[in-house]
Structure 1
Amino acid sequence: MTVASHNNKNRLVPAGIAAVVLLVLASGTWLAVRAEANVNKVALADAPKGVTVALAQSSSFRAERRYVGTLEPWLSARVGPQLASGFVGTVLVRPGAVVKKGEVLATIDCRNASAASQAIAHQARALSERQKAAAKEASRLGELLDGGYAAPNEVEQKQAAAAANEAQMQALLAQSAGKSLEVDDCVLRSPFDGEVSSRFADPGAFVRPGAAIVEVVDRGVVRLSADVPEIDFDAIAPKTPVKIKLLATGKPLTGEVVRRSPSADTSTRTIHFEVDIPNPGRNIPVGTTAEIHVDVGDPMPATEIPLLSARVRGKSATVFVVDSGVAKKQTFDVFGERGGSLFVATVLKPGTQVVTQGRSLLSDSDRVAAKVEPSAAPAPTPSAVEVAK
């Protein structure tokens, strides 16, 4: 029994070894087959490249010019002394105040001018009395001359003295009128109904003729003025409709060209034009900027694609078009752009897939795996514009 058991054990050892070897071989074979199955036997250059595409949309195009203009008040006046010099006595208004025509805005200490005016007036009154006396004396001598009781030379001297006194009196009256104007100039009044836009001096400041103390504007009607290149002379003809965007408030407005200069500026070769904007609520700030959009020409059919799908050079755009899984490089004429859209000739058919992402990795006739993103596809618009600054 002992010998038999020992023989059985000897036979089990080779069998176990054989089983282990078979198991190892089977595992190796399985791993090799699995690894071989995961190996990509297609060259990377031949594999389709993943790209994102958008669908071209049917649209229309209309050229547009964009200009930048300035909003100016209908009336504007810097109020200050024109004849008198002196220290500012009072300034009764501040920016934002609403004033009426003739309302006092500021005063200047003009006591010197007032005293001088009174002195001249008294001198003129005294000279007037002397002139009257001289005239009466000359008249009496004239009567004596008729009777032969006075010499003609004496009468002529008296008449000349009376005329000289009259001339001196008129000169003094003229000086008095000038001083009166200076005195009146010391009280500064609003020249029209409007609002105070600026205050340049405070009480105690010394001002001279021509210096402004306050500025008054009337913005019941706002003038939008701009200058355009001379080649756009016909684009801004009077009564041409325009679209306006106020940069200060973001409010869109519409209007029409009211005035156009008949000549260009000699230094800049630009044409000046203006648009009147009613502003009864006075809610449009003046001195600010506005964009002016003017349509040019007639609308024409166009195809709209995302701007990022094309490389634009001048008036041509290069686009990768996907057809049957192949990206083809094509060039189309450009009409214009607006926002994130580009408008090209209708040679590019609506519904065509254009590559928006992955363009930099593509070459002509590359195979692609296209993914359409609805958010990337441009929504059709009724019109498009070509921006000209």
Structure 2
Amino acid sequence: MQRSRRPLLIAILVVALVAVAAFFLLRGKSAEGEAKKADKPAATARPALTVTVVQPQPAELVAGLPANGNIAAWQEAIIGSESAGLRLADVRVNVGDVVKKGQVLATFSGDTVQAEVAQARASLAEAEAAAADAAANAERARTLSATGALSQAQINQYLTTGQTAKARVEAARAALQAQQVRQRNTQVLAPDDGVISSRTATVGAVVGSGAELFRLVRLGRLEWRAEVASNELPKVRVGQKARVTAASGVTVEGTVRALAPTVDPQTRNALVYVDLPGNGDVRAGMYARGEFMLGRIQQLTVPQSAVVVRDGFASVFEVAADGKVAMRRVTTGQRAGDRIAIAEGVKPEMKLVERGAAFLNDGDVVQVQGQGQPTPAAAAPAPKQ
């Protein structure tokens, strides 16, 4: 019985040994196969895109400070009535008319004023006659003072009457001059050269003294009142040039005339006043954007197609020697034609994807146009074990 079991035990032992040997053999082959599979994708990685590369190029650009603001009149003169209770007889200008200094803008009816001038002139003549008579009496009293024919009190009375009559002449003359001024004020004159921007004068209206009749843009000068942040204000200087684009699309070049001495406590912005040249398409009340010319600087530029915006940030893709791309976040500056300045984030020796960057992700493999298949670093021979 024991002899019959011995061959069975031997057979079971042999089968177990064969199974163990097969297990370790298959495990080794599986590990080797997995290692080969791990190396295979890196060695045979296919490019995600065929691209062209560019390098950042230095360029001389005009540094600018953007700003927004309103276009307004440099000075707007209010022209009012200086005569009370007179009727407007004629209005000779309308809004938009160009006028010269001293030009007649409107006239009031002068019949009442002419009558008052005539009355004042007659009062002056009467006062002058009375003054002449009083002066003669005073002179006679003065000559009789030595004879004793008149008392000193009478003599003083004649002298006083003469001086009073003389004062009345001066008062009548002043009243006449006042009426003559009022007569001249029946003509409303332009105080300066300029453009009529507003008219409230109406023929037939009886206006009071000081009532507004017209508004005049003095010399036709306009200015751009740009709002500049307080931290940027030190960059702006009087005399600098500024390029202003009005809402009409017209671009004009102005000159900084003055900087506001205070900053708005609500917005923390200050006003910069820029004189603008005359242009029929630039009008007071327009909203305009512009840029202050701060000077020329050297900056690296790249084509605008090389810059992509993701998650609100501008980025470029740098191509490494092994064909992989790396996304680099950059700080962009002003645009010059089809190129854009890069303030931070690139170096002159970098090779950047020129087109198609929007279809790439960080770490993708690309093929550079004009070169062969990229050779990844993983394809290099492995060191000896």
Calculate the TM-score normalised by the size of structure 1.
Answer: 0.65
Q: Flag the 1:156–1:284 CA change in 2: closer, same or farther, 3 A.
A: farther
- Map of 2:91 onto structure 1: 91
Greater Cα offset, 108-117 or 139-148: 108-117
Deviations 1:254-295 (A, max 9, x none): 4543x3348335866725443353x4xx64544145443223
- Map of 1:115 onto structure 2: 115
Q: Which has the higher contact order (CA 8 A, sep 6+)?
A: 1
Q: Equivalents in 1 of 2:165, 2:228: separation in Å?
A: 64
Partners of 1:52 and 1:357 within 8 A in 2: no
- Map of 2:13 onto structure 1: none
Q: Flag the 1:262–1:142 CA change in 2: closer, same or farther, 3 A.
A: same
Deviations 1:325-368 (A, max 9, x none): 64534434x15254995624323855412764346xx5x43567
Greater Cα offset, 87-96 or 285-294: 285-294
The structural deviation recorded for 1:250 is: 3.1
Match of residue 333, structure 2, among 315, 333, 336: 336
- Map of 2:237 onto structure 1: 237
Partners of 1:236 and 1:260 within 8 A in 2: no
Partners of 1:131 and 1:165 within 8 A in 2: yes
Partners of 2:242 and 2:274 within 8 A in 1: no
Q: Is 2:137 aligned against 1:156?
A: no
Partners of 1:55 and 1:305 within 8 A in 2: no
The structural deviation recorded for 1:158 is: 1.7
Q: Flag the 1:111–1:331 CA change in 2: closer, same or farther, 3 A.
A: same
Alignment of 1:1-389 (within 5 A): 55=53, 57-60=56-59, 63-71=63-71, 76-219=76-219, 222-226=222-226, 228-240=228-240, 242-257=241-256, 259-261=257-259, 263-264=261-262, 270=270, 272-275=272-275, 277=277, 279=278, 283=280, 285-287=282-284, 288-296=286-294, 298-304=296-302, 306=304, 309-311=308-310, 317-319=314-316, 321=318, 323=320, 326-332=324-330, 334-338=331-335, 341=340, 343=342, 344-347=344-347, 349=349, 351-353=351-353, 356-358=357-359, 362=361, 364-365=362-363
AA aligned to 1:89 is: A
Q: Flag the 1:266–1:135 CA change in 2: closer, same or farther, 3 A.
A: farther
The structural deviation recorded for 1:71 is: 4.7
Partners of 1:310 and 1:318 within 8 A in 2: yes
- Map of 1:34 onto structure 2: none
AA aligned to 1:95 is: V
Q: Flag the 1:101–1:306 CA change in 2: closer, same or farther, 3 A.
A: closer
Q: Flag the 1:285–1:318 CA change in 2: closer, same or farther, 3 A.
A: closer
Q: Equivalents in 1 of 2:250, 2:145: separation in Å?
A: 89
Q: Equivalents in 1 of 2:181, 2:112: separation in Å?
A: 13
The structural deviation recorded for 1:65 is: 0.4
Q: Flag the 1:366–1:224 CA change in 2: closer, same or farther, 3 A.
A: closer
The structural deviation recorded for 1:133 is: 0.9
AA aligned to 1:336 is: G
The structural deviation recorded for 1:154 is: 0.8
Q: Give me the identity figure in percent.
A: 21
Partners of 1:58 and 1:350 within 8 A in 2: no
Q: Flag the 1:176–1:261 CA change in 2: closer, same or farther, 3 A.
A: farther
The structural deviation recorded for 1:180 is: 2.1
- Map of 2:12 onto structure 1: none
Partners of 2:316 and 2:357 within 8 A in 1: no
Partners of 1:134 and 1:161 within 8 A in 2: yes
The structural deviation recorded for 1:97 is: 2.9
- Map of 1:16 onto structure 2: none
AA aligned to 2:118 is: Q
Q: Secondary structure at the match of 2:145?
A: helix
CA RMSD of aligned residues (A): 4.0
Q: Flag the 1:66–1:214 CA change in 2: closer, same or farther, 3 A.
A: same
Gaps of 5+ in 1: 1-42, 372-389
